[in-house]
Chain A
Amino acid sequence: MENSVGIVKTKYYTIEENIKLESGVEFAPTTVAYETYGKLNEDKNNAILVIHALTGDAHAAGYRNENDKKPGWWDVLIGPNKAFDTNKYFVICTNIFGGCSGTTGPSSINPKTGEPYGITFPVFTIEDTVLVQKKLLDYFGIKELYCVAGGSMGGMEAMQFAISYPDFVKSTILIATTSRLSPQAIAFNAVGRNSIISDPAWNNGNYYNQETKPDRGLSNARMIGHITYLCEEAMYNKFGRKLQDKDHYDFNFDIDFQVESYLQHQGQIFIDRFDANSYLYITKAVDYFDLEDKYGSLENAFSKSKSKYLIISFDSDWLFPTSQAKEIVNTLMKLDKDVSFCEIQSPCGHDAFLLEYEVQEKIIKSFLDNHIKGEINE
């Protein structure tokens, strides 16, 4: 547990007042699950918000208990002397609005009916998820965010954060992300959603009191997702055409190949920790995210932002490709914003953002410690 933040507990904060969503719907109450690492200084200006990807949670670093073997999802980068150095910074991570790991979402009980929301939960956007996180920061009394950082969907939220609160965000780190999904990426999300909806057990989203849940649909959606997180080279490196626990084909429709077994395993472990309705809502929010469309142009979107930017992409990531990262970089350069950009070479596809941590550690640490002039009282 060296360099670890140690044992951590997820905490909860409830926003009692109505939140006005982008769709116009007013929603309350909203409970936010969050974890924090490090100490908020007296001036409350050393806070860093890290934001998880599509199916992550608030448990970004440390262990849940003494016997816990698996640390939080970004533990490699968050901790004492790590990139997000908890000796210096106060790191916060929340579970996304509409999620299923502690924050209010479709699987939560609607206090008005005593039943889970199901698909009566309002459709929300990335901007809405950012608003909820801002409410939590307000609760902490944070007046300025030292940095907001996220990868993939977390990167979308991070850039929306910098846009929604231009005076509040001092620096922004965007990793393997985009200002809008490609139609190809939307297509994969659509098949994932279709797989859930076409599972008879989904039952229009009312499955919480049923014995069978739309597990098959959800695990298929996850398998499709995992195909997009890898790339051709990663699949060759990881599996090749190797067979799973056998020397020859079985000439039936059971699992033969390692890649099949991997996907099935990923699907299986996913249903234990994720809610099918949350998957529908969150992928929809990701599909709707389009800064060009929303603000007229990328330039308009970022024009008021006072943040410094660090942008990272991975050369083998075809889901959130370098070309999309460069669009953001070029826009920020045109607007004369302070921006740095690095394309990391990796054979891991989109997954690289959680795997290639050594290079990222160097880059992020340099950016946070050397580039953003911090008037931080340690």
Chain B
Amino acid sequence: MNNHYNSSKGLHLNYSIISDLIDENSKVLDLGCGNGYLLELLRKTKKIKGNGIEISQNKVIECLEKGLSVIQGDIDEGLKQFSDKSYDYVILNQTLQSTRTPDFVLEEMLRVGKKCIVSFPNFAYWKIRFYLFFLGKMPKSKVLPFEWYDTPNIHLLTIKDFFEFAKKRNITIENGLYTTKAKVRKAIQYNIFSNFFAQEAIFILKKD
């Protein structure tokens, strides 16, 4: 389910940002772990103990080839097999917008993880706004390459949407990172400029 957000250059930046957020020797659950790239990176650089959940059989096999522990499964079914706060970090990288029930998935993550890291493409990014405004069509880009009728990204959202959601559900945003092509801004509070200029957002969350 991972990597629908399809810019390889962007992804590498994103992976290293996420890697920087994680403490050494921690226990990590990666939801929608794809081919296991991030887990492998974290295992090498941060000596983490990691598990992945991935829906696609072929990607599960790629993870196994990397020697990772991976479970084939659908995160929309919840994380009932995991007990409360059993992981230091639960990661949902570029997958939130593809889940059927994003609110349920987030609540489950926050139940299982002491901290959660969530990243998604920002639909309020200025290029996307201009695309819709001037062309009058569903925006397509390197990051969102799919046709409206054939996209896994069924729950696209903006940075502002996410702040509103977090407030409503009493989710603590510990930090927010907003990436443009090469730069990363950090801010805990909502900021209209980030919502306009950031292509992607990464949040560190918790809920006690």
Contact = CB atoms under 8 A, between A and B. Distances in A.
Interface in B46-98: 51, 57, 60-61, 63-73, 80-83, 86
A329 B65 contact: no
A344 B80 CA distance: 22
Contacts of A331: 81
Contact of B86 (A336, A362, A366): A336
A342 B64 contact: yes
A311 to B, nearest CB: 9
A366 B81 contact: no
Contact of A362 (B65, B70, B72): B65
Contact of B71 (A336, A340, A363): A340
A175 to B, nearest CB: 14
B50 to A, nearest CB: 11
By secondary structure, the A interface counts as: helix
Contacts of B64: 310, 340, 342, 362-363, 366-367, 370-371
Contacts of A310: 64
Contacts of A334: 81-83
Contacts of B69: 308, 338-340, 371
A260 interface: no
A345 interface: yes
A330 interface: yes
A359 interface: yes
A40 B73 CA distance: 37
Contacts of B65: 362, 366, 370
Contacts of A207: none
A345 B86 CA distance: 31
Nearest to A311: B71
Interface in A325-373: 326, 329-331, 333-334, 336, 338-345, 359, 362-363, 366-367, 370-371
B57 A333 contact: no
Interface residues of B, number: 20
A34 B157 CA distance: 61
Contacts of A366: 61, 64-67
Nearest to B51: A333
A339 B57 CA distance: 16
Interface residues of A, number: 24
Nearest to B54: A342
B117 to A, nearest CB: 20
B82 A329 contact: no
B104 to A, nearest CB: 18
Contacts of B70: 340-341
Nearest to B70: A340
A320 B64 CA distance: 23
A342 B81 contact: no
Interface string B3-14: 000000000000
B58 to A, nearest CB: 9
B66 to A, nearest CB: 7
Contacts of B71: 329, 333, 339-341
Contact of A345 (B57, B68, B80): B57
B73 A342 contact: no
Contacts of A367: 64
B73 A370 contact: no
A350 B61 CA distance: 21
B83 to A, nearest CB: 6
A340 B71 CA distance: 5
Given A341-B73, A343-B72, A371-B69, A362 B80 contact: no
Contacts of A345: 57
A186 to B, nearest CB: 26
A342 to B, nearest CB: 5
B147 to A, nearest CB: 26
B57 A344 contact: yes
Interface of A: 308, 310, 326, 329-331, 333-334, 336, 338-345, 359, 362-363, 366-367, 370-371
Interface of B: 51, 57, 60-61, 63-73, 80-83, 86
Given A310-B64, A340-B60, A366-B64, 11 more contacts: A329-B81, A330-B80, A333-B71, A333-B82, A340-B69, A341-B72, A342-B57, A342-B72, A343-B57, A343-B72, A370-B64
